[in-house]
Amino acid sequence: MLAELEQIKTDALSAIEAIADESALEEARVGFLGKKGRLTAASAGMRDVPREQKKDVGQKLNEVRTAITEALEEKGAGLTAVRDAAAFASIDPTLPARSLPKGGLHPLTHVLNEAVSVLRRMGFALAEGPEIETEWHCFDALNTPEDHPARNESDTFYFENGKLLRTHTSSVQIRTMEKEVPPVRIIAPGSAFRRDEIDATHLSAFHQLEGLYVDKNVSLADLKGTLEYFFREIFGSKTEVRFRPHFFPFTEPSFEVDLKLHATGKAAKWIEIAGCGIVDPAVFSEVSKQRGDAAYDPSEISGFAFGMGLDRLAMIMYGIPDLRLLIENDVRFLGQFS
């Protein structure tokens, strides 16, 4: 009996050793350990084993069963590993990616988002106004003389009802002051329109960012601190900023802001980037007339305003040479900013 068991073990182990696939493994399991398997059949012979040998034969039986079971498991694990490896063997990880669709925001949106996020940290809230404006909001309230060239039909888009497409976002200053009382601290990004033929440096519709701060005792020092901080956040803390005297009808004193910037490989030069100034008291007077109250009494409050062209900012920040690229929306262009 013991010899028979030993023989079964030897046969089983060599048979398992030779197995090459999982179905043969299952056959072997059934052939040795199944209901009609050899070991099962042999164990039925326990009945006839003399009593004093039962213990030894029983132990042998267990030993053989354990050995065959372990061999089967080991072989099984080996075969699974081979199958797993085979399943991934044909994969070439160096193939190009299975593409996810590529998308992204317009460069102007990037510039706008960056500017807005800096200004919001500085405590400015957003404001908006209509793009189809009245002449009063766009010009009169902003102290623009009646025969100012900007009011010309050759420079500004008009509608039959006398309204116009706002030529600057400064009209949002007026819209805001009509509704809100000081202190006011707003920024207004948006479209503006001028009757310009489209070329590399002109668009008939472009984007501006307007800012307005009205409170008691607002001075040029506040304006300077605000814009210097803003531009250094955008262009780097060491950026040189200069304020050049200029003229706008709705601010007095007025300045243009230049930054010293350099395009790659070129010497740094002053680049005009924004207009700003102390709100002209005439603007407050006009707003007060419209409101019919003293909330914007120019002898009590003062303010500063600034405005910049976002298209121009995008040109400078990304080195875009031609404004028309911004309205062409070629996806090869748009893809450079995602």
Partner 1 sequence: MNVSLKWLSDHVDFSEYSMSELDDLLTFTGIEVEGIQSLPDHVVVAEVLSSEGHPDADKLSVCQVDDGSGTPRQIVCGAKNYQVGDKVALALPGCVLDGGDGKTFEIKEGKLRGVESLGMMCAAAEIGLTDDADGLLILSPDLKPGTPLSEVYPAVFELEITPNRPDCLSHLGVARELAALAGKPLRGSAHHGNSKTPAREAKSDEIQISTESCPYYTARVIRGVKVGESPSWLKEKLESIGLRPINNVVDITNYVLMEMGHPLHAFDMARLDGGIHVRAAAAGEEFLALDGETYALTAEDMVIADGSRAVAIGGVMGGDDSGVTEATTDILIESAYFVPSAIRRTARRLNLHSDSSYRFERGADPHQVNGASDLAVQWILELAGGTAESEIVTCGGVPAPPVSVELDNDYVRSVIGAEITNEEISSILKSLGMEEGSGEWKMPSYRLDLPRAVDLVEEVARVYGLDKVPANQKSWFSAASKADVSFDFASKIQSHLSSLGFFEARNLKLISEAQLADDVATSHRGMSPVRLKNPLNDEQDYLRPGIVPGLLATAGRNVRFGNPDLRLFEMGRVFTATPKGGEVEHEHLALLMTGAKAPRSWASGKVNGKPENVDIHDLRAVLEAFCPAGLNLVPVDDDRMLCACSIEIGSGKKSAKLGLAGIVSPARARELDLEAPVMVAEINLKKLAAATNADLTYAELPKFPGSSRDVAMVVPADLAAGEVAAFLEAHEEPLLQSVELFDVFQDPSGEKLPADKKSLAYSITYRSPDRTLEAAEVENAHLKLLDSLKSGLHVDFR
Residues 52-81 that bind partner 1 (CB under 8 A): none
Least distance to partner 1, CB of residue 89, Å = 18
State yes or no: residue 214 binds partner 1 (CB under 8 A). Answer: no
Specify the stretch interacting with partner 1 by CB under 8 A; choose among 17-25, 202-210, 288-296, 315-323: 202-210
Residues with Cβ < 8 Å from 12, sequence gap 6 or more? Answer: 28, 32, 38, 39, 64, 67, 68, 71
What is residue 47's DSSP assignment? G
Specify the stretch interacting with partner 1 by CB under 8 A; choose among 15-23, 64-72, 124-132, 315-323: 124-132
Which CB, 7 or 113, lies closer to partner 1?
Answer: 113
Coil, helix or strand for 125?
Answer: strand
Q: Is the dihedral of CA 309, 314, 319, 321 positive or negative?
A: negative
Instruction: Please work out the total of residues on this chain that contact partner 1, with binding judged by CB under 8 A.
Output: 85
Least distance to partner 1, CB of residue 246, Å = 6
Residues 133-192 contacting partner 1, CB under 8 A: 146-147, 149, 152-154, 157-161, 163, 165, 183, 185-186, 188, 191
Binding mask 220-249 for partner 1 (x = CB under 8 A): xxx-xxx-xx------------xxxxxx--
Least distance to partner 1, CB of residue 148, Å = 8
- DSSP labels for 139-151? TGGGT--TT-GGG
Which CB, 27 or 233, lies closer to partner 1?
Answer: 233
Least distance to partner 1, CB of residue 205, Å = 5
Residue choice 217, 266, 267, 319 for contact with partner 1 (CB under 8 A): 217
Least distance to partner 1, CB of residue 126, Å = 4
Residues 248-287 contacting partner 1, CB under 8 A: 252-255, 278, 280-281
The structure tokens listed for 291 are: 């409101």
Least distance to partner 1, CB of residue 286, Å = 14
Residues 296-325 contacting partner 1, CB under 8 A: 302
Contact between 119 and 187 under an 8 Å Cβ cutoff? The reply is yes
Distance from C-alpha of 231 to C-alpha of 235, rounded to nearest angstrom: 6
Coil, helix or strand for 164?
Answer: strand
Which CB, 34 or 136, lies closer to partner 1?
Answer: 136
Contact between 168 and 130 under an 8 Å Cβ cutoff? The reply is no
Contact between 333 and 314 under an 8 Å Cβ cutoff? The reply is no
Backbone angles phi, psi at 49, to 5 degrees: -75, 135
Name the residue type at position 163: K
Contact between 251 and 220 under an 8 Å Cβ cutoff? The reply is no
Least distance to partner 1, CB of residue 39, Å = 42
Residue choice 11, 131, 135, 140 for contact with partner 1 (CB under 8 A): 131
Distance from C-alpha of 129 to C-alpha of 168, rounded to nearest angstrom: 11
Which CB, 63 or 328, lies closer to partner 1?
Answer: 328
Specify the stretch interacting with partner 1 by CB under 8 A; choose among 1-9, 17-25, 109-117, 286-294: 109-117
Least distance to partner 1, CB of residue 133, Å = 10
Residues 86-105 contacting partner 1, CB under 8 A: 95-96, 98-105
Least distance to partner 1, CB of residue 199, Å = 12
Count of CA atoms in the C-beta half-sphere (13 A) of 1: 19
Strands 205-215 and 125-126, by their bridges, are unpaired
Burial of residue 161, with CB atoms counted within 10 A of its CB: 0-12 exposed, 13-18 middle, 19 or more buried: exposed
